[in-house]
Every structure is written in C-alpha cells, then in structure tokens.
Structure 1
Amino acid sequence: MTYNLITVDPLGNEDVAKALARCFGVPVRDVDVADEQTDQTLRSWDAAVLCDRAEVRGDVTTSLDVHVQDRVPSPPDEAGLARAFARAARTVVLCPAIEELPSAYWLMTDQGTVTRARLLLSDDEEPVYTVDAVEAAVPRLPHVPVRQLPEIVREQSRETSLSTRAGRAPSSTGGCRGTGRRPGCGRPG
C-alpha cells in the first residue's frame, strides 16, 4: 500500500521513522526513511515500511511517500494514517482527497481536527505549496482563510448525478468515487 502525506512542520528522517513505527505498530528498525542525501545503497529495502522524504517550500515543509509491505497487518487507509501520523509526530498533516480536483486535500491536526483544505502548487521550477483555504480553523495556519470549498461540493454533486444517470445507485460515501485507498467524501472515519 502506498500513502502520500505532507506535513506543516519540518521533520527529519529519524522523527518520521519513529512516527511511522508507532502508526504501523512495527519496530523503528523496520522503518527505512530516506531523503535525497541518503546513499541508496545503504537503504534497508526489505523494511516493513519504506518512506521517501523530501523538503518542500511554502505553507507545508515535508512531503512523504510511504510504501508499506504486505506483511504489515491491517494497514490503515490514507486518512487513517494521516490522523495517526499527525498525533505521533505532533504536526499538521495533509493527504489527498478522492475528488478529481488536484487541490482537494484532507487536513488533520495532532489535536484531532479533521477538515478539508485547498492546497495549491505554484508553477515555479521548485514549486511553492500554499494552503489557500480550510473549512475549519487550524491554529498552526492562522493566516489561512476559513471558508467552504464549493468546488468539492460541485465535484461530489457531479459524480452523484453521473452515477444516478448511469443507473447506478450512489455509493455509501454520498456518490463519491472510491479508489479503495482514499477516504470517502464525507468526513474520514
């Protein structure tokens, strides 16, 4: 299973490894975290959890691509990992939502807040990430406006309408397209 997480606070490889170990219930020695400076020949490719960490610019600072081996029992969905990682690393975490919109994200805080967020990337050679809006106040992002994200509601309505016209009943997630690894359109459980 593969996960994509982005954090507001900068995290080093060791911090990420400890948090991932807690989230997946594996020993820290069975988590391999690497960044662009890591010698790839020294990686533990047979670790239960593999993570590529990259520093990014903007309102978020760390991007994590996490791969979990099949031998890890009962891995959470992406929203579940984001919630657990926010608590374990004491940070704010964003993960992609299921909508077709590239800017649609879920945001989880270490205090338990779960809300929608709009994350934009600049066209710069090294993109700048901007949290443009959230649907609930996030104390770690006081400059970000709180507002409803109408494009998400439109996307959900469009997908519900298309499935109804095709003769399919809307899914239990309110008509949203499920991929099996993304949270549903409603608040992630």
Structure 2
Amino acid sequence: MKTTLKISVVLLMLFSIVSCNKKTRRNYQYMPNMYESVGYEAYQESDAFANGVEAQLPVEGTIPRGYSLYEIEDTNEGYEYAKANLTSPLDSTAVDYARGKELYDIYCGICHGTKGAGQGYLVKREKILGVPSYADAGRAITTGSIYHVIYYGKNSMGSYANFMSEEERWQVVAYVEKLKADLEK
C-alpha cells in the first residue's frame, strides 16, 4: 500500500508538471516592454508631448550654464571691431601661462610652431603653407583679433570654439601674446 501511494503521488506530481507546459499555447509574459524594448533614435521627433508642452523648450533669452554669448559677428567688420575693442576678461592673476602653453601646443602648435614663428610640424612637412610668424611686421595682431580668430577661424584655419571653453580660449590668447612679445625681443 505504501508503494502504491508513493507511486501515485509521484505520478500525480509528474502529470501536473507536464500538464502546465503546453507547447501549443503561448506562455504569459509579464511586463513585455522589459523583454522587447522599443528602440528610439536619440534625435528623432517625439510625440511624448504632442500638445506642444513648453517643458521641452528652453526659456526665451536664456543661455546654457558655462556658456556666454560672443556677439561679434563673423565678418570682416566684426574682425576689425574685435581687433580694436575686445579685451581679455582675465586679470593678471588669472592668467596661467602653463595652461595656455598646454592648450596652445595641443591646438595651435601643429601649424604655428611651439614658438609662434609659423614653423609648425605641418608647415615643415609642407602639408599647409603660408602660416606667418606672430612677429611679422605686417601683422598687427591684438588681444581681440586673436580671440576672434580662435572663435571663428580665418582663411584656412578653422574655428576652435567647440574645442575650448571661453576661459581656455582666453588662456591661449594670453599665451600667444607672450609668444609674440618673446619673438619681438
């Protein structure tokens, strides 16, 4: 009797396990979005706020943190205006020539040379031509003109506004002025 009872219990358990697994019908899936997520593109249109909710739009007249407006235009007149009127916001205690040299070597030295004489690696290899020295008599460069050229670029030199923050651009300007003074000695 004991063995019959044991065998019947084992058969009942086996039958119940097998009966729950039915290949013809789909198993339940709770929270299917966790298993089969919807792919979104980062810059696609979104219908999340179809009513035009203003929470997605920045407040008019605001600028992002760490960003300040440079309102001088990228024109010849803007260049001349910057050359004549733009001054550095850094005082003498805020200028860090070591940091300026580091940034200059990274972004400018490849063309302008480490001393600002226009003999960078690309000029020596003749990959680009016509990079003048900072001390050339025909070049009246000023603080404003250096910043404007770093911000917008000029001739074959591109803009470096996206690569350096405003403070870093001013550090490079201070270092270029130091190089110019060293070359004119």
* Normalised TM-score (structure 1): 0.25
Larger helix proportion of the pair? 2
- Computing the radius of gyration over CA atoms, which structure comes out larger, 1 or 2? 2
